[in-house]
Amino acid sequence: MGRLGPTEIILILVVIILLFGAKKLPDMARSLGKSARILKSEAKAMKEESKSSAPADPPATGEQPPAQRTIQAAPGDVTSSRPVAEPTDTTKR
C-alpha cells in the first residue's frame, strides 16, 4: 500500500492533461523551469554574499559601492529580457 503502479501514474497524467489541457502544459513546464533557474541563481548569490559580507574593516571612503546584481534571462528567452513599465493608477479618488 502507498506505492503507485504504472497504471495509476498513467491515470494521473491523463487527468492532469484533461484538467489543464495539452496546450497549456508546455508553457507551465517552461515557466516552472524559469522559476527553478531563478531560485537556483538567487540561492547561489546569497551563499556568495554571506561568504563575502563579513569584512574585517569598513570600506575606505574612496571605494565605490558594489554594483547591483541583475538576473540574466535564459538563453533565447526574449519575454523576460525586455523592460517592463509599472502600471499606473488612473482612477480618481
End-to-end Cα distance, the chain: 61
In a domain? residue 14: no
Question: What is the model's pLDDT at position 59?
Answer: 56
Q: How far apart are CA 39 and CA 71, in angstroms?
A: 10
Question: What is the model's pLDDT at position 39?
Answer: 95
In a domain? residue 81: no
**Residue 34: burial class (beta carbons within 10 Å; 0-12, 13-18, 19+):** middle
What is the band of 91 on the pLDDT scale with cuts at 50, 70, 90?
confident
In a domain? residue 41: yes
Structural domains counted in the chain: 1
Question: What is the model's pLDDT at position 58?
Answer: 55
In a domain? residue 38: yes
pTM above threshold 0.85? no
Q: Write out the residue range of the structural domain in which residue 40 sits.
A: 23-50
